[in-house]
Amino acid sequence: MGKFSWTKLQGIFGQFQHRRVDISTDEEAFLRSIFCAQYYARVSGKATLSEDQLFADFLKSGLGLDFSPTPLFDKEIFLRQIVAGTDNTPAILKWYRSPHNRRLIASQFFDAEYYNDVYRDVATSEVSGYEHYLCYGEQERRQPNALFDPFWYDLIADRSPAESQMTPHAHFITFGIERGAAPCASLLSVFARTSTARLKPMETYGRVVRATAPWFRKIGQNQTHLALQLFHPEHYEAAGSLISTASGLERLEHYLELGLIAGYNPSPLFDSVLYQERLGLEATTSDNPLLHFLENGPNNRIVPTNLFDPDDYLSAWPDIAAANLWGFGHFVAHGIFEGRRIDGSERVGHWALPADSAGGQLHNWELFWAEAASNGDTPNLAAPTEVSALARVEPQHLPLLKALFCAPYYAQKMNLSPQTPEDRLFQDYLDRGLNLNVPPGPLFDPAMAKALVGASEEPVIIAWLNKRQPHWRAPTSFFDKKYYLSIYEREFQGMALDLFEHFVLHGVHENRQPCAIFDPNWYLGAYPREVGEESLPAYLHYLVYGLQRGNAPCQLLLATYALNGSDKSSRLEQFVAINQSVSRWLAKLDGHKVQVLLAMFSPYFYDGDGRLAKRSSGAERLIDFLDRGLEAGIAPSPLFDPSCYEVSGLSSDVPFLHYLRHGWNKKIVPTKIYCEASYQNAHWDIQQHKIWGFKHFLFHGIYEGRKVDESAKLTIFVDTTIQSDLQLSNVRLFWAANGAPLALLGLPSRIANRQIRLNEILKSKSYAKSVRRALELDPSIGDIKKGQGYHAPPSHEPAYPAIQKLYDRVPNKKYETIVLVPWLRTGGADLVACQISSACKRAASGGNVLLLLVDQPNLERPDWISEGVDVAHVSDILQSLPAQTAERLLFVLFKSLAPKRIINVNSFRGWKTLERFGKRLRPHMDLYAYMFCWDQTKDGFRVGYPSLFFASTAPVLSALFTDTEYLRNELMRIYSPPKAIADRVRPLYTPSRTLAPKKSFAAMSFEQRSARRPRIIWAGRLDMQKRFDMVQLVAQKMPDVDFLCWGDAVLDTPPDQSSSPRNLILRPGFKSYEELPLQDADLWLFTSAWEGMPTILIEIAVRGMSVVASAVGGVPELIDESTGYPVTDAESVDAYVSAIRTALADPTERIARANRLMDKAAQRFSEMQYDSALRTIFSKEDQ
């Protein structure tokens, strides 16, 4: 038993797992230390896994697929530096396991000389700089090159919450650079002027790193940084020699490679003529003033520009003077980005932004150049447009302007990428949006603001910011000042607040309620958020995303928002209209009573006394009720029944309004569909805490699915974990039980009808009589009225939605034959599945045939499927379920469809279903399956479907097909089954899809051969089984022969092609044999390590090609010494070489064997023979 379990386990892993690489504990620790989860999630496409799950997945499959664990290790760069080997050890392990390899640098972004010069502790250690950086330095925030500043990047990087733990350089390479982020402050303007759409920023960044490295070695670290700080992409003196569309990075690359050497001025911050004058002509010892300045200017504190006055700067900024810093050096490295004015004077209108973001620093940098332009110091560069716009904004208003800005909202408005960093979006708003009067966010409506400020030449938001008054109404329909004050009046008492400003700056982030119909605390848990939306406050998320998705703003409006109708108004318009209608009642009722009003309203019943159309939306119904129906005396729903509310004083008031003003406070229950006593008895927690049940039910119980009386509640399974969906389902079930029109509910009619029918049964006299009788017989049954839920199959079944999806995928509901296949890719078993589907259509009674893809959704060869055969793939549904549930659902589907027969062709899930449910299916249908061959491990052990499933499924199969006598004989030898089972194991020879030609291809090839070199064709999957590595070795030993190969990796990692000799050419896999030069080749080479009867060999045999083939599995049944050149030692390169040489040396014998092969294949592997065999087998089904 133990041996069987081990074999079974090996089979499962051998078939369905990626190659797992054996590693030591030390190696695992190393991989863990450098592993970047977010990078691996991106390259592997597994973004939903946790960090620990990602690392486990990397060890399990990613390492075997040779994925890099970090963006700081580029396997392609590493592999180019080593001698290629034949082993398939992952690159990162090749690097780690060899002391020599660990001295190789596998990243274009690492400068070893720079690193060792800056970090002398590393330079004097035995560890190479790159190894130290990879294992320690990146975590320690050390600089990998002269350009990247990890501490600065950490401060300004735009990161999503999922990216927050990434180290700076890894984040920059993985995400930052494609978002336009800069590696350091000095290059902010360069990257801002580089389109990520036009250039490959990663490649360009690498080029600039390499262009910077020589300067670091030549003039030093500080001097190189100073050269970068002086650079301005548009002011660069040699920019005229570049095309006008040259990016900032292209200009910088030109500057580093040519401009510095030629001495071009990098910007007006360096004037070569002025520098020479200030230095003194006799003192210069260099023909290149710029290089002379970089090497000598800082020590002599010479300022090479008229744009900067060192005395003014040090006088204006005492902190710089006190530190005895070189003023000009501080300014170009820090001050310009911090927004410091050279003379310290206060700007009039040109306000600097905080330097805590890249956008703020870039703004301040451009502000300096704009001021220089306006002073006439840099006449060839105009001031940026945002300066004039911001010039009239007072500094105290800037926080509010930034708070009103909502990046995802603005990105939507301007059709910008949602991945754009927030600071760059804000910069774009200052550049363009502000002057175009585009709203900065959903809480600012330019039209409403314009009505407040009147006519103005300024952008509306600038005028509003400068002129606004605390008593003005908010410039948005999404904020209710009166409601906000009423809710937080005690907290704001005695404070002189602008309520709208308070909400924008603080309240929205504190999840305070902006109006009566939005509940931020409920909304936070009610709806899931997509990646990148996590940091938005609840209300902003609702306005930017939730409205578009149809989300409800509060729990009380769930049903209202779920009822869609013919209303053509937008969701935004509906939200505003509902809010305005509710606001009018806030002036007449207190806030809590308005909430009660909304809680008792049901869109499923209210129709304005027949005034509204049947297709009216929930929003239309609620608005009509608030604006007209309420005062007209129309009930909001059966939760208020005027006949149940008869109190004094009603004659002068509308009954429901009277109830809200008086009856509610007296805890009167105004309906027959709710029983206070039953609710209390059914829910001990309500009773224990002495809560008024009716109030609890309206605000909580109906959404929790609590019983309200002694009637039954149907238990159904809702295929969701989303809180709002679960709550809405409970609301719908409640109203279904109380007479709501089924057409409005949105529940499947079968569920709603079951709920109604269940109530009818349980309230009937016959049921009560049955219960009394049962209690007399067995008192232990107890009080059935306390039952919380009743099952009405199949609605309570958790997998029922999946069952429905399966059933819906099937094109027809009546099939004679269902063929199971794992997928439809390029394998022989996939082809056989299509062939037997076609044969069933021919050989049986012509009934419908269904080809069902149950393991994976790959459908790569639809051309193999015959006309009239239906196809359905259900693998995605089954993969989303636990394995045993998926098998059970397949069983349910088979029972439902009731085919005459099921044929499993190589589907693992199909085998598992037959193993588990075969005995229950066999009385109702005939079960068949195909087996082809065993797989093998690298150690030569047999694994696979024959080992896993023959013993457990053979007894329930009407027939087990093999494609060779070999496999049948092996199964008989190993298992010695009873005769009844042995007789049902039937070889079924796969038919060729083509007719034999009149003349063999071997003969045609010899007749057409000219002076070309001998030519051999190999084609197949590039997987371990097919031994493409053997082809490479054979080709190396036969340099005088050309090997033309076709193939793709399907199950395993693609082979290392670096070991292929020049006489071997590998092309992608073929789809048609007509693509191959079969008539212009001398031999077909077949090198599989194990096989059944490969369909590719059948097709080659029918065409009459000469074949050299490994004598494995069932291959000798076709290729023997009379029909080809079998290689009995399939592990010997020399054996293949000898067979090929023998075949090439005697063309007459080669052709004779090919002719015999063609005749043999045409007889055994014909469609007629195949159909006849199936008819014989199927004829016994009814016996």
794: preceding bond cis by omega (within 30 degrees): yes
pLDDT reported for residue 144: 92
pLDDT tens track for 359-391: 778 888 888 888 887 666 654 443 333 344 555
Residues 971 and 1014 occupy one common structural domain: no
pLDDT reported for residue 519: 95
Residue at 548 is within a domain: no
Residue at 482 is within a domain: yes
Q: How many structural domains is the chain composed of?
A: 5
What is the biggest distance separating any 2 CA atoms in the chain, rounded to whole angstroms? Answer: 122
The two three-digit tokens of residue 291, written as one number: 């290089």
Least confident of 28-42, 392-406, 722-736: 392-406
Residues 1014 and 978 occupy one common structural domain: no
pLDDT reported for residue 86: 63
pLDDT reported for residue 1017: 94
Name the residue range of residue 432's domain.
407-525
pLDDT tens track for 679-714: 998 888 998 999 999 999 999 999 998 888 766 666
What CATH number has the domain bearing residue 829? Answer: 3.40.50.2000
pLDDT reported for residue 6: 28
pLDDT tens track for 1006-1046: 887 766 789 999 998 888 889 999 999 999 999 999 999 98
Residues 470 and 616 occupy one common structural domain: no
How far is residue 517's CA from residue 575's CA, in Å, rounded to a whole number?
Answer: 9
Q: Identify the band that residue 257 occupies on the pLDDT scale cut at 50, 70 and 90.
A: confident
Residues 938 and 850 occupy one common structural domain: yes
pLDDT tens track for 464-511: 998 888 888 999 999 999 899 888 888 888 777 889 999 999 999 999
The pLDDT mean for the chain works out to 85
Residues 702 and 733 occupy one common structural domain: yes
Closest among 568, 523, 528 to 543, alpha carbons compared: 523
Residues 977 and 1010 occupy one common structural domain: no
Choose the final residue of a domain: 715, 749, 765.
765
Q: Identify the band that residue 18 occupies on the pLDDT scale cut at 50, 70 and 90.
A: very low
pLDDT reported for residue 785: 62
Residues 164 and 238 occupy one common structural domain: yes
Instruction: Find the helix packing angle between 221-229 and 289-300, rounded to 10°.
Output: 110
Residues 977 and 1028 occupy one common structural domain: no
pLDDT reported for residue 240: 65
Alpha-carbon distances of 994 from 512, 1074, 1101, rounded to whole Å: 74, 11, 11
- Residues 6 or more apart in contact with residue 344 via CB below 8 angstroms: 312, 313, 315, 316, 317
Q: Is 582:595 a contact under the CB 8 Å cutoff?
A: no
Residue at 651 is within a domain: yes
How far is residue 510's CA from residue 538's CA, in Å, rounded to a whole number?
Answer: 9
- Residues 6 or more apart in contact with residue 1117 via CB below 8 angstroms: 964, 965, 966, 1093
Strand partners, 930: 905, 961
Residue at 1136 is within a domain: yes
Residues 827 and 758 occupy one common structural domain: no
Least confident of 466-475, 780-789, 793-802, 1137-1146: 780-789
Alpha-carbon distances of 869 from 8, 814, 817, rounded to whole Å: 34, 13, 10
Average pLDDT (246-260) is 84
3-class secondary structure, 1107: strand
| % pLDDT > 70, the chain | 90
Choose the final residue of a domain: 270, 298, 321.
270
Alpha-carbon distances of 508 from 478, 520, 539, 1010, 1127, rounded to whole Å: 12, 9, 7, 83, 77
pLDDT tens track for 417-447: 787 888 778 877 887 788 888 999 999 999 9
pLDDT tens track for 176-213: 887 778 888 888 888 877 765 445 666 777 778 888 88
Residue at 532 is within a domain: no
Q: Residue 392: is its pLDDT beyond 60?
A: no
Q: Identify the band that residue 518 occupies on the pLDDT scale cut at 50, 70 and 90.
A: very high
The two three-digit tokens of residue 988, written as one number: 């079924």
- With left for phi above 0 and alpha for psi between -120 and 50, is residue 477 left, alpha or beta? alpha
Average pLDDT (539-562) is 94
Least confident of 590-599, 611-620, 735-744, 879-888: 735-744
How far is residue 135's CA from residue 91's CA, in Å, rounded to a whole number?
Answer: 16
Residues 738 and 811 occupy one common structural domain: no
**What type of residue sits at position 310?**
P
Q: Residue 1135: is its pLDDT beyond 70?
A: yes
Q: Residue 868: is its pLDDT beyond 70?
A: yes
Q: Going by DSSP bridges, is the β-strand pair 1064-1067/942-943 parallel, antiparallel, or unpaired?
A: unpaired
pLDDT reported for residue 841: 86
Residue at 45 is within a domain: no
pLDDT reported for residue 16: 36
Q: Going by DSSP bridges, is the β-strand pair 869-873/901-905 parallel, antiparallel, or unpaired?
A: unpaired
Q: In the block, which residue shows the tokens 């199969």? A: 957
How far is residue 618's CA from residue 612's CA, in Å, rounded to a whole number?
Answer: 11
Q: Identify the band that residue 795 occupies on the pLDDT scale cut at 50, 70 and 90.
A: low
Strand partners, 1066: 1045
Average pLDDT (909-921) is 95
Q: Residue 797: is its pLDDT beyond 80?
A: no
Q: Identify the band that residue 1106 occupies on the pLDDT scale cut at 50, 70 and 90.
A: very high
Q: In the block, which residue shows the tokens 């308005």? A: 594
Least confident of 30-34, 117-121, 433-437, 794-798: 794-798
Residue at 913 is within a domain: yes
Average pLDDT (744-757) is 72
pLDDT reported for residue 342: 87
Q: Residue 882: is its pLDDT beyond 70?
A: yes
pLDDT reported for residue 284: 46
Q: Identify the band that residue 1132 occupies on the pLDDT scale cut at 50, 70 and 90.
A: very high
Residue at 1074 is within a domain: yes
Q: Residue 251: is its pLDDT beyond 90?
A: no
Residues 613 and 487 occupy one common structural domain: no
Residues 592 and 736 occupy one common structural domain: yes
Q: Identify the band that residue 850 occupies on the pLDDT scale cut at 50, 70 and 90.
A: very high
How far is residue 52's CA from residue 70's CA, in Å, rounded to a whole number?
Answer: 15
Choose the final residue of a domain: 987, 1016, 1042.
987
Q: Residue 760: is its pLDDT beyond 50?
A: yes
pLDDT reported for residue 7: 34
